[in-house]
Amino acid sequence: MQSIAGKTVVLTGASGGIGLYIARALAKEQATVVSISRSIQRLETVDAEVKALGSKSIIIPFDLTNLQELPVLGQQINQLAGSVDILINNAAVETCQAFKNSSLADNQSMLLTNLQAPIELTRLLLPNMIRQGIGHIVNIASLAGKKGTPYNSIYSASKAGLIMWSDAIRQELSGTQVGVSMICPGYVSAGMFLRTTVPVPKFAGISTPSEVAIATIKAIQHNKAEVIVGSSFSRILYAVEQLSPEFADAIYRWMGVAKLNQKRAENQRHTEKLV
């Protein structure tokens, strides 16, 4: 089992939703937590919590959609924290809407944050992990990347890309001491989903952010390739998807996933009008 104590961990999307819970879990393991997010005010809250748990904390405000500036972020990390042992690509954005109503700006934001930024940040930090002979990359994906969800097509596409990329680089790195894990939660009672205030279909199940954080820690400790966080029914559904996508579609409709996301899209539009 790989110990996390004393390791330097870079965590993106650290200030909200699942990220804050992962930061706390890392602090409890006595890691040095390098938290990255856009909001300095929210990062300061993470900083205080990590330090209160007895761990070293470093915060760096940064917008990951600025891909051209990611080398600057890499330099900041190196100057403030030194060598990175573990990278957790957690930052994500989601806009629920019918694809025909989507905008270039919304689609680019999701693809940049959820897929391109993790790829580029990993590309920058990976060579040193290989040189030092130890490292781990964790990509927080989603069950939406396992089975496309209506009214959430671009988010699903971004997470599917993250899953396939994780799978590919894990195989590339099999001869090194750098592990790669992907965490696939379903609906989580935090962050993006919680803000939509729509109840989850009965059989879909909902996980807590603490469960996702615990799964992340265990994936690192035991070098797990993939961890699905969710109900047993979800695991069965994804097995069915491989055999008969049409049947899986019917199950999704029966579960009410399409109606759920349609309602989320409506709520999101209503909220935007109020702002």
Q: Catalytic residue numbers?
A: 155
CA angle at 185 for the pair 38 and 30, rounded to the nearest 5° = 60
State the Cα–Cα distance between residues 100 and 56, nearest whole angstrom.
Answer: 46
State the Cα–Cα distance between residues 10 and 224, nearest whole angstrom.
Answer: 19
State the Cα–Cα distance between residues 23 and 17, nearest whole angstrom.
Answer: 11
The answer to whether 145 and 156 are in contact (CB under 8 A) is: yes
State whether residue 89 is helix, strand or coil.
strand
The answer to whether 234 and 205 are in contact (CB under 8 A) is: yes
Cα–Cα distances in angstroms (integers) from residue 275 to residues 194, 195, 244, 268, 272, in the given order? 18, 14, 43, 11, 5
The answer to whether 58 and 31 are in contact (CB under 8 A) is: no
Of 21, 54, 249, give the one whose Cα is nearest residue 147: 249
Angle between helical axes of 257-274 and 245-255 (0-180°, round to 10): 60
